[in-house]
Structure 1
Protein backbone atom coordinates (compact mmCIF):
# COMPACT_ATOMS: atom_id res chain seq x y z
CA UNK A 1 0.00 0.00 0.00
CA UNK A 2 1.13 3.52 -0.72
CA UNK A 3 1.69 5.76 2.28
CA UNK A 4 -0.04 9.01 1.34
CA UNK A 5 2.05 10.93 3.89
CA UNK A 6 5.16 10.23 1.84
CA UNK A 7 3.60 10.83 -1.61
CA UNK A 8 3.51 13.90 -3.80
CA UNK A 9 1.05 14.50 -6.62
CA UNK A 10 2.22 14.90 -10.23
CA UNK A 11 0.32 15.34 -13.49
CA UNK A 12 1.32 13.37 -16.57
CA UNK A 13 -0.19 12.84 -20.02
CA UNK A 14 -0.62 9.22 -21.12
CA UNK A 15 -2.44 7.67 -24.05
CA UNK A 16 -6.06 6.66 -23.76
CA UNK A 17 -5.08 3.04 -24.49
CA UNK A 18 -2.49 3.03 -21.68
CA UNK A 19 -5.00 4.53 -19.27
CA UNK A 20 -7.50 1.79 -20.14
CA UNK A 21 -4.82 -0.88 -19.68
CA UNK A 22 -3.93 0.48 -16.23
CA UNK A 23 -7.62 0.56 -15.34
CA UNK A 24 -8.09 -3.10 -16.34
CA UNK A 25 -4.93 -4.14 -14.51
CA UNK A 26 -6.08 -2.29 -11.38
CA UNK A 27 -9.41 -4.14 -11.43
CA UNK A 28 -7.71 -7.49 -11.99
CA UNK A 29 -5.22 -7.01 -9.16
CA UNK A 30 -7.59 -5.15 -6.84
CA UNK A 31 -5.15 -2.24 -6.72
CA UNK A 32 -5.44 1.46 -7.35
CA UNK A 33 -4.06 3.14 -10.46
CA UNK A 34 -1.72 5.18 -8.27
CA UNK A 35 -0.27 2.03 -6.69
CA UNK A 36 0.34 0.46 -10.11
CA UNK A 37 1.99 3.58 -11.55
CA UNK A 38 4.09 4.10 -8.42
CA UNK A 39 5.26 0.46 -8.42
CA UNK A 40 6.06 0.49 -12.15
CA UNK A 41 8.04 3.72 -11.95
CA UNK A 42 9.96 2.55 -8.90
CA UNK A 43 10.87 -0.73 -10.60
CA UNK A 44 11.94 1.11 -13.75
CA UNK A 45 14.13 3.57 -11.82
CA UNK A 46 15.74 0.77 -9.81
CA UNK A 47 16.58 -1.10 -13.02
CA UNK A 48 17.88 1.99 -14.83
CA UNK A 49 19.98 3.25 -11.94
CA UNK A 50 21.44 -0.16 -11.13
CA UNK A 51 20.23 -0.03 -7.52
CA UNK A 52 20.39 -3.50 -6.04
CA UNK A 53 18.46 -4.91 -3.15
CA UNK A 54 20.15 -4.52 0.20
CA UNK A 55 18.85 -6.12 3.40
CA UNK A 56 20.16 -3.08 5.28
CA UNK A 57 17.97 -0.76 3.25
CA UNK A 58 14.55 -1.10 4.81
CA UNK A 59 12.72 0.72 1.98
CA UNK A 60 14.14 -1.61 -0.66
CA UNK A 61 13.47 -4.62 1.55
CA UNK A 62 9.80 -3.73 1.94
CA UNK A 63 9.25 -2.64 -1.65
CA UNK A 64 10.52 -5.84 -3.23
CA UNK A 65 7.81 -8.46 -2.75
CA UNK A 66 9.85 -11.68 -2.73
CA UNK A 67 7.84 -13.24 0.08
CA UNK A 68 4.57 -14.09 -1.69
CA UNK A 69 3.49 -16.17 -4.66
CA UNK A 70 3.85 -14.40 -7.99
CA UNK A 71 0.45 -13.84 -9.61
CA UNK A 72 0.28 -14.64 -13.33
CA UNK A 73 -1.10 -11.63 -15.21
CA UNK A 74 0.20 -12.37 -18.68
CA UNK A 75 2.41 -14.68 -20.72
CA UNK A 76 4.44 -13.99 -23.82
CA UNK A 77 3.26 -15.56 -27.07
CA UNK A 78 6.34 -17.79 -27.22
CA UNK A 79 5.79 -18.98 -23.65
CA UNK A 80 2.16 -19.78 -24.46
CA UNK A 81 3.12 -21.77 -27.56
CA UNK A 82 5.60 -23.88 -25.60
CA UNK A 83 3.12 -24.50 -22.79
CA UNK A 84 0.36 -25.37 -25.27
CA UNK A 85 2.53 -28.03 -26.88
CA UNK A 86 3.41 -29.47 -23.47
CA UNK A 87 -0.24 -29.54 -22.38
CA UNK A 88 -1.29 -31.18 -25.67
CA UNK A 89 1.39 -33.85 -25.27
CA UNK A 90 0.31 -34.42 -21.66
CA UNK A 91 -3.36 -34.69 -22.71
CA UNK A 92 -2.57 -37.22 -25.45
CA UNK A 93 -0.45 -39.39 -23.15
CA UNK A 94 -2.58 -39.16 -20.01
CA UNK A 95 -3.79 -42.54 -18.78
CA UNK A 96 -6.43 -41.05 -16.49
CA UNK A 97 -9.53 -39.41 -17.96
CA UNK A 98 -9.57 -36.64 -15.36
CA UNK A 99 -5.93 -35.81 -16.09
CA UNK A 100 -6.69 -35.73 -19.80
CA UNK A 101 -9.57 -33.28 -19.23
CA UNK A 102 -7.37 -31.10 -17.04
CA UNK A 103 -4.62 -30.87 -19.67
CA UNK A 104 -7.15 -30.26 -22.44
CA UNK A 105 -8.70 -27.45 -20.40
CA UNK A 106 -5.26 -25.94 -19.80
CA UNK A 107 -4.39 -26.17 -23.49
CA UNK A 108 -7.59 -24.41 -24.53
CA UNK A 109 -7.17 -21.68 -21.93
CA UNK A 110 -3.65 -21.01 -23.21
CA UNK A 111 -4.65 -21.14 -26.90
CA UNK A 112 -7.49 -18.67 -26.40
CA UNK A 113 -5.53 -16.46 -24.01
CA UNK A 114 -7.90 -16.64 -21.06
CA UNK A 115 -5.46 -14.95 -18.71
CA UNK A 116 -7.82 -15.16 -15.73
CA UNK A 117 -7.43 -18.97 -15.88
CA UNK A 118 -3.63 -19.06 -16.07
CA UNK A 119 -3.26 -19.55 -12.33
CA UNK A 120 -5.59 -22.56 -12.56
CA UNK A 121 -3.57 -24.30 -15.23
CA UNK A 122 -0.01 -23.32 -14.32
CA UNK A 123 1.92 -24.11 -11.13
CA UNK A 124 2.36 -21.24 -8.73
CA UNK A 125 5.89 -20.05 -8.13
CA UNK A 126 7.58 -17.76 -5.65
CA UNK A 127 9.74 -14.90 -6.85
CA UNK A 128 13.47 -15.45 -6.53
CA UNK A 129 14.88 -14.70 -3.10
CA UNK A 130 17.72 -12.17 -3.59
CA UNK A 131 21.24 -13.43 -2.92
CA UNK A 132 21.61 -10.80 -0.20
CA UNK A 133 18.67 -12.29 1.72
CA UNK A 134 20.01 -15.84 1.37
CA UNK A 135 23.41 -14.62 2.54
CA UNK A 136 21.79 -12.92 5.51
CA UNK A 137 20.01 -16.14 6.48
CA UNK A 138 23.34 -17.97 6.37
CA UNK A 139 24.94 -15.20 8.47
CA UNK A 140 22.20 -15.55 11.09
CA UNK A 141 22.78 -19.30 11.39
CA UNK A 142 26.56 -18.79 11.44
CA UNK A 143 26.20 -16.29 14.27
CA UNK A 144 24.03 -18.59 16.37
CA UNK A 145 26.36 -21.51 15.77
CA UNK A 146 29.23 -19.32 16.94
CA UNK A 147 27.27 -18.28 20.03
CA UNK A 148 26.30 -21.86 20.91
CA UNK A 149 29.80 -23.23 20.42
CA UNK A 150 31.44 -20.37 22.32
CA UNK A 151 29.01 -20.66 25.22
CA UNK A 152 29.64 -24.39 25.47
CA UNK A 153 33.38 -23.68 25.62
CA UNK A 154 33.00 -21.37 28.64
CA UNK A 155 34.00 -22.62 32.04
CA UNK A 156 31.29 -23.64 34.48
CA UNK A 157 31.71 -20.44 36.48
CA UNK A 158 31.56 -18.30 33.33
CA UNK A 159 28.35 -20.00 32.20
CA UNK A 160 26.78 -19.41 35.60
CA UNK A 161 27.66 -15.74 35.42
CA UNK A 162 25.90 -15.19 32.07
CA UNK A 163 22.53 -13.48 32.80
CA UNK A 164 19.43 -15.56 32.04
CA UNK A 165 18.24 -13.19 29.30
CA UNK A 166 21.57 -13.39 27.50
CA UNK A 167 21.66 -17.15 27.83
CA UNK A 168 18.15 -17.22 26.36
CA UNK A 169 19.27 -15.18 23.34
CA UNK A 170 22.13 -17.56 22.57
CA UNK A 171 19.44 -19.75 21.01
CA UNK A 172 17.72 -18.66 17.81
CA UNK A 173 14.09 -17.98 18.71
CA UNK A 174 12.78 -18.83 15.24
CA UNK A 175 10.86 -16.68 12.79
CA UNK A 176 7.37 -15.24 12.69
CA UNK A 177 5.23 -17.53 10.51
CA UNK A 178 2.62 -14.78 10.23
CA UNK A 179 5.14 -12.56 8.46
CA UNK A 180 5.62 -13.70 4.82
CA UNK A 181 9.25 -12.54 4.68
CA UNK A 182 10.27 -14.26 7.90
CA UNK A 183 8.36 -17.40 6.93
CA UNK A 184 10.28 -17.58 3.65
CA UNK A 185 13.57 -17.17 5.51
CA UNK A 186 12.63 -20.06 7.78
CA UNK A 187 11.59 -22.16 4.79
CA UNK A 188 14.95 -21.46 3.13
CA UNK A 189 16.78 -22.57 6.29
CA UNK A 190 14.59 -25.68 6.50
CA UNK A 191 15.60 -26.44 2.90
CA UNK A 192 19.25 -25.97 3.82
CA UNK A 193 18.83 -28.24 6.85
CA UNK A 194 17.58 -31.01 4.57
CA UNK A 195 20.90 -30.66 2.76
CA UNK A 196 22.68 -31.07 6.14
CA UNK A 197 23.54 -27.37 6.36
CA UNK A 198 23.42 -25.52 9.71
CA UNK A 199 22.15 -28.59 11.55
CA UNK A 200 23.38 -27.40 14.97
CA UNK A 201 21.76 -23.93 15.10
CA UNK A 202 18.69 -25.07 13.13
CA UNK A 203 17.92 -28.02 15.40
CA UNK A 204 18.58 -25.82 18.43
CA UNK A 205 16.14 -23.26 17.02
CA UNK A 206 13.46 -25.95 16.59
CA UNK A 207 13.99 -27.01 20.20
CA UNK A 208 13.86 -23.48 21.62
CA UNK A 209 10.83 -22.25 19.69
CA UNK A 210 7.46 -23.53 18.56
CA UNK A 211 8.98 -25.75 15.86
CA UNK A 212 10.64 -22.67 14.41
CA UNK A 213 7.70 -20.31 14.87
CA UNK A 214 8.54 -17.35 17.10
CA UNK A 215 4.98 -15.92 16.92
CA UNK A 216 6.54 -12.47 16.75
CA UNK A 217 8.94 -10.74 14.39
CA UNK A 218 12.56 -11.49 15.10
CA UNK A 219 14.46 -10.38 12.00
CA UNK A 220 15.17 -6.85 13.20
CA UNK A 221 16.57 -8.23 16.45
CA UNK A 222 18.76 -10.73 14.61
CA UNK A 223 20.11 -7.96 12.40
CA UNK A 224 21.12 -5.90 15.41
CA UNK A 225 22.87 -8.94 16.85
CA UNK A 226 24.60 -9.56 13.50
CA UNK A 227 26.05 -6.05 13.46
CA UNK A 228 27.61 -6.58 16.87
CA UNK A 229 28.77 -10.08 16.02
CA UNK A 230 30.49 -8.97 12.81
CA UNK A 231 32.12 -6.02 14.55
CA UNK A 232 33.54 -8.27 17.26
CA UNK A 233 34.68 -10.95 14.83
CA UNK A 234 36.48 -8.37 12.68
CA UNK A 235 38.72 -7.63 15.65
CA UNK A 236 39.52 -11.26 16.46
CA UNK A 237 42.53 -12.34 14.42
CA UNK A 238 41.88 -16.05 14.92
CA UNK A 239 38.33 -16.68 13.71
CA UNK A 240 38.44 -20.21 15.08
CA UNK A 241 38.81 -18.76 18.58
CA UNK A 242 35.69 -18.84 20.74
CA UNK A 243 33.87 -15.72 21.79
CA UNK A 244 34.51 -14.67 25.35
CA UNK A 245 31.84 -14.45 28.03
CA UNK A 246 31.74 -10.66 27.73
CA UNK A 247 31.52 -10.80 23.94
CA UNK A 248 28.61 -13.26 24.12
CA UNK A 249 26.81 -10.92 26.52
CA UNK A 250 27.53 -7.92 24.30
CA UNK A 251 26.05 -9.63 21.24
CA UNK A 252 22.97 -10.96 23.03
CA UNK A 253 22.15 -7.73 24.87
CA UNK A 254 18.78 -6.47 23.59
Structure 2
Protein backbone atom coordinates (compact mmCIF):
# COMPACT_ATOMS: atom_id res chain seq x y z
CA UNK A 1 0.00 0.00 0.00
CA UNK A 2 1.30 3.40 -0.98
CA UNK A 3 0.28 6.33 1.25
CA UNK A 4 0.22 8.98 -1.47
CA UNK A 5 -3.33 10.28 -1.96
CA UNK A 6 -4.78 8.14 0.83
CA UNK A 7 -7.12 9.08 3.68
CA UNK A 8 -5.70 7.90 7.01
CA UNK A 9 -6.94 7.84 10.61
CA UNK A 10 -4.47 7.35 13.47
CA UNK A 11 -5.77 6.76 16.98
CA UNK A 12 -3.42 7.57 19.82
CA UNK A 13 -2.06 10.11 17.37
CA UNK A 14 -1.22 12.87 19.86
CA UNK A 15 2.13 11.45 20.94
CA UNK A 16 4.64 8.66 20.57
CA UNK A 17 4.33 6.20 17.71
CA UNK A 18 0.93 7.56 16.69
CA UNK A 19 2.20 11.11 16.25
CA UNK A 20 5.26 9.87 14.35
CA UNK A 21 3.07 7.84 12.01
CA UNK A 22 0.73 10.78 11.40
CA UNK A 23 3.65 13.02 10.48
CA UNK A 24 5.21 10.40 8.26
CA UNK A 25 1.95 9.60 6.46
CA UNK A 26 1.53 13.30 5.70
CA UNK A 27 5.09 13.45 4.39
CA UNK A 28 4.31 10.47 2.16
CA UNK A 29 1.56 12.51 0.51
CA UNK A 30 -1.58 11.30 2.24
CA UNK A 31 -4.59 13.31 1.09
CA UNK A 32 -5.90 13.64 4.62
CA UNK A 33 -4.65 12.54 8.05
CA UNK A 34 -6.99 12.47 11.04
CA UNK A 35 -5.21 12.61 14.40
CA UNK A 36 -7.55 11.02 16.92
CA UNK A 37 -6.80 11.02 20.65
CA UNK A 38 -8.33 11.67 24.07
CA UNK A 39 -5.90 14.56 24.47
CA UNK A 40 -7.44 16.95 21.96
CA UNK A 41 -4.95 19.73 22.65
CA UNK A 42 -1.95 17.58 21.83
CA UNK A 43 -3.78 16.03 18.89
CA UNK A 44 -4.58 19.49 17.55
CA UNK A 45 -0.90 20.44 17.72
CA UNK A 46 0.11 17.41 15.66
CA UNK A 47 -2.73 18.03 13.20
CA UNK A 48 -1.67 21.66 12.83
CA UNK A 49 1.88 20.60 11.95
CA UNK A 50 0.69 18.39 9.09
CA UNK A 51 -2.40 20.32 7.95
CA UNK A 52 -4.54 17.46 9.20
CA UNK A 53 -7.65 17.18 11.34
CA UNK A 54 -7.79 16.52 15.08
CA UNK A 55 -10.70 14.60 16.61
CA UNK A 56 -11.20 13.76 20.25
CA UNK A 57 -11.93 10.09 20.82
CA UNK A 58 -12.18 7.47 23.53
CA UNK A 59 -11.25 4.33 21.62
CA UNK A 60 -12.93 2.11 24.20
CA UNK A 61 -16.31 3.54 23.12
CA UNK A 62 -17.68 2.07 19.88
CA UNK A 63 -19.73 5.18 19.07
CA UNK A 64 -16.59 7.33 19.29
CA UNK A 65 -14.78 5.16 16.74
CA UNK A 66 -17.74 5.36 14.38
CA UNK A 67 -17.87 9.13 14.81
CA UNK A 68 -14.17 9.49 13.96
CA UNK A 69 -14.67 7.49 10.78
CA UNK A 70 -17.72 9.56 9.84
CA UNK A 71 -15.88 12.83 10.45
CA UNK A 72 -12.88 11.64 8.42
CA UNK A 73 -15.14 10.54 5.57
CA UNK A 74 -17.04 13.83 5.54
CA UNK A 75 -13.79 15.83 5.54
CA UNK A 76 -11.63 13.85 3.12
CA UNK A 77 -13.58 10.93 1.67
CA UNK A 78 -13.64 7.20 2.52
CA UNK A 79 -10.96 6.02 4.92
CA UNK A 80 -8.26 4.04 3.12
CA UNK A 81 -6.11 3.21 6.15
CA UNK A 82 -7.20 3.03 9.78
CA UNK A 83 -4.37 2.79 12.30
CA UNK A 84 -5.82 1.46 15.54
CA UNK A 85 -2.83 2.52 17.58
CA UNK A 86 -4.00 3.76 21.00
CA UNK A 87 -2.95 1.61 23.95
CA UNK A 88 -2.39 1.62 27.70
CA UNK A 89 -0.04 -0.21 30.06
CA UNK A 90 -0.70 -0.53 33.77
CA UNK A 91 1.97 -2.32 35.84
CA UNK A 92 1.00 -5.45 37.71
CA UNK A 93 -0.33 -8.97 37.53
CA UNK A 94 -3.11 -11.07 39.01
CA UNK A 95 -3.41 -8.72 41.99
CA UNK A 96 -4.78 -5.93 39.82
CA UNK A 97 -8.54 -5.32 40.21
CA UNK A 98 -11.08 -6.20 37.54
CA UNK A 99 -11.48 -2.53 36.70
CA UNK A 100 -7.87 -2.39 35.46
CA UNK A 101 -8.21 -5.60 33.46
CA UNK A 102 -11.44 -4.38 31.89
CA UNK A 103 -10.02 -0.97 31.03
CA UNK A 104 -6.92 -2.51 29.46
CA UNK A 105 -9.06 -5.00 27.54
CA UNK A 106 -11.30 -2.24 26.21
CA UNK A 107 -8.42 -0.07 24.98
CA UNK A 108 -5.90 -2.68 23.83
CA UNK A 109 -8.31 -5.13 22.21
CA UNK A 110 -11.90 -3.95 21.90
CA UNK A 111 -10.84 -0.71 20.19
CA UNK A 112 -9.61 -2.86 17.29
CA UNK A 113 -12.93 -4.69 17.25
CA UNK A 114 -14.89 -1.42 17.21
CA UNK A 115 -12.78 -0.16 14.29
CA UNK A 116 -13.29 -3.35 12.31
CA UNK A 117 -17.04 -3.37 12.92
CA UNK A 118 -17.27 0.16 11.61
CA UNK A 119 -14.89 -0.10 8.68
CA UNK A 120 -14.99 -3.64 7.31
CA UNK A 121 -18.51 -3.37 5.83
CA UNK A 122 -17.61 -0.07 4.16
CA UNK A 123 -14.32 -1.43 2.86
CA UNK A 124 -15.97 -4.59 1.55
CA UNK A 125 -18.50 -2.49 -0.30
CA UNK A 126 -15.69 -0.49 -1.93
CA UNK A 127 -13.52 -3.55 -2.48
CA UNK A 128 -10.50 -2.02 -0.77
CA UNK A 129 -9.14 -0.73 2.52
CA UNK A 130 -6.41 -1.36 5.06
CA UNK A 131 -6.34 -1.94 8.82
CA UNK A 132 -3.13 -1.44 10.80
CA UNK A 133 -3.49 -2.68 14.38
CA UNK A 134 -0.77 -1.77 16.85
CA UNK A 135 -0.06 -4.57 19.30
CA UNK A 136 3.39 -5.02 20.84
CA UNK A 137 6.32 -7.38 21.07
CA UNK A 138 4.66 -8.29 24.37
CA UNK A 139 1.78 -9.66 22.31
CA UNK A 140 4.20 -12.21 20.86
CA UNK A 141 6.50 -12.70 23.85
CA UNK A 142 4.36 -12.16 27.01
CA UNK A 143 6.67 -9.63 28.63
CA UNK A 144 6.21 -8.14 32.08
CA UNK A 145 2.72 -6.87 33.04
CA UNK A 146 -0.15 -9.34 32.80
CA UNK A 147 -3.02 -7.16 31.51
CA UNK A 148 -0.77 -5.60 28.87
CA UNK A 149 0.73 -8.88 27.65
CA UNK A 150 -2.61 -10.71 27.61
CA UNK A 151 -4.55 -8.00 25.80
CA UNK A 152 -1.74 -7.47 23.29
CA UNK A 153 -1.77 -11.22 22.59
CA UNK A 154 -5.48 -10.87 21.92
CA UNK A 155 -4.81 -7.93 19.60
CA UNK A 156 -2.38 -10.02 17.55
CA UNK A 157 -4.88 -12.88 17.40
CA UNK A 158 -7.69 -10.59 16.28
CA UNK A 159 -5.49 -9.10 13.55
CA UNK A 160 -4.69 -12.63 12.37
CA UNK A 161 -8.40 -13.43 12.28
CA UNK A 162 -9.13 -10.30 10.26
CA UNK A 163 -6.42 -11.21 7.75
CA UNK A 164 -7.70 -14.78 7.44
CA UNK A 165 -11.32 -13.74 7.08
CA UNK A 166 -11.04 -10.67 4.85
CA UNK A 167 -7.55 -10.72 3.34
CA UNK A 168 -8.77 -12.34 0.12
CA UNK A 169 -11.64 -9.88 -0.16
CA UNK A 170 -9.68 -6.69 -0.73
CA UNK A 171 -8.89 -5.70 2.86
CA UNK A 172 -5.25 -5.49 3.89
CA UNK A 173 -4.30 -6.17 7.49
CA UNK A 174 -1.02 -5.55 9.28
CA UNK A 175 -0.10 -5.93 12.94
CA UNK A 176 2.59 -3.64 14.34
CA UNK A 177 4.57 -5.27 17.17
CA UNK A 178 7.38 -2.96 18.33
CA UNK A 179 9.69 -3.61 21.23
CA UNK A 180 11.21 -0.78 23.25
CA UNK A 181 10.49 2.62 21.70
CA UNK A 182 11.37 6.00 23.19
CA UNK A 183 7.82 7.13 23.95
CA UNK A 184 6.03 8.48 27.04
CA UNK A 185 4.81 4.95 27.81
CA UNK A 186 8.35 3.55 27.72
CA UNK A 187 9.78 6.41 29.78
CA UNK A 188 7.16 5.83 32.48
CA UNK A 189 8.66 2.40 33.24
CA UNK A 190 11.36 1.94 35.88
CA UNK A 191 15.00 2.27 34.82
CA UNK A 192 15.51 -1.45 35.38
CA UNK A 193 12.61 -2.33 33.11
CA UNK A 194 13.71 0.13 30.47
CA UNK A 195 17.11 -1.54 30.38
CA UNK A 196 15.67 -5.06 30.22
CA UNK A 197 13.15 -4.11 27.56
CA UNK A 198 15.61 -2.31 25.31
CA UNK A 199 19.05 -3.64 26.06
CA UNK A 200 20.07 0.00 25.96
CA UNK A 201 19.13 0.54 22.31
CA UNK A 202 15.49 1.52 22.09
CA UNK A 203 14.24 2.87 18.79
CA UNK A 204 12.72 6.28 18.22
CA UNK A 205 9.11 6.71 17.21
CA UNK A 206 10.33 8.00 13.86
CA UNK A 207 12.25 4.75 13.35
CA UNK A 208 9.02 2.85 13.90
CA UNK A 209 7.10 5.10 11.51
CA UNK A 210 9.66 4.37 8.79
CA UNK A 211 9.27 0.62 9.37
CA UNK A 212 5.50 1.02 9.18
CA UNK A 213 5.66 2.77 5.81
CA UNK A 214 7.95 0.03 4.50
CA UNK A 215 5.73 -2.70 5.92
CA UNK A 216 2.58 -1.21 4.44
CA UNK A 217 4.28 -0.87 1.06
CA UNK A 218 5.15 -4.58 1.17
CA UNK A 219 1.78 -5.43 2.76
CA UNK A 220 3.48 -7.52 5.44
CA UNK A 221 1.23 -8.88 8.16
CA UNK A 222 3.74 -8.65 11.00
CA UNK A 223 5.56 -5.32 11.06
CA UNK A 224 8.51 -5.72 13.42
CA UNK A 225 10.67 -2.63 13.89
CA UNK A 226 13.02 -4.64 16.14
CA UNK A 227 14.59 -7.48 14.16
CA UNK A 228 15.44 -9.41 17.33
CA UNK A 229 11.72 -9.80 18.12
CA UNK A 230 11.37 -12.17 15.17
CA UNK A 231 14.34 -14.20 16.43
CA UNK A 232 12.80 -14.47 19.90
CA UNK A 233 9.41 -15.36 18.42
CA UNK A 234 10.96 -18.12 16.33
CA UNK A 235 12.82 -19.43 19.38
CA UNK A 236 9.55 -19.55 21.28
CA UNK A 237 7.95 -21.65 18.54
CA UNK A 238 10.93 -24.01 18.31
CA UNK A 239 11.26 -24.79 22.04
CA UNK A 240 8.67 -23.17 24.25
CA UNK A 241 9.94 -24.79 27.46
CA UNK A 242 13.43 -23.39 26.94
CA UNK A 243 11.94 -20.02 26.03
CA UNK A 244 9.79 -20.00 29.19
CA UNK A 245 12.84 -20.68 31.34
CA UNK A 246 14.61 -17.73 29.74
CA UNK A 247 11.61 -15.49 30.30
CA UNK A 248 11.43 -16.57 33.95
CA UNK A 249 14.99 -15.34 34.43
CA UNK A 250 14.17 -12.05 32.72
CA UNK A 251 11.08 -11.61 34.87
CA UNK A 252 13.10 -12.28 38.03
CA UNK A 253 15.58 -9.57 37.04
CA UNK A 254 12.73 -7.13 36.47
CA UNK A 255 11.37 -7.80 39.95
TM more than 0.5: no
Q: Which is helix-richer, 1 or 2? A: 1
The structure with more radius of gyration? 1
By percentage of residues, which structure has more strand?
2
TM (norm. structure 2) is 0.23
Q: How does the TM-score come out when normalised to structure 1?
A: 0.23
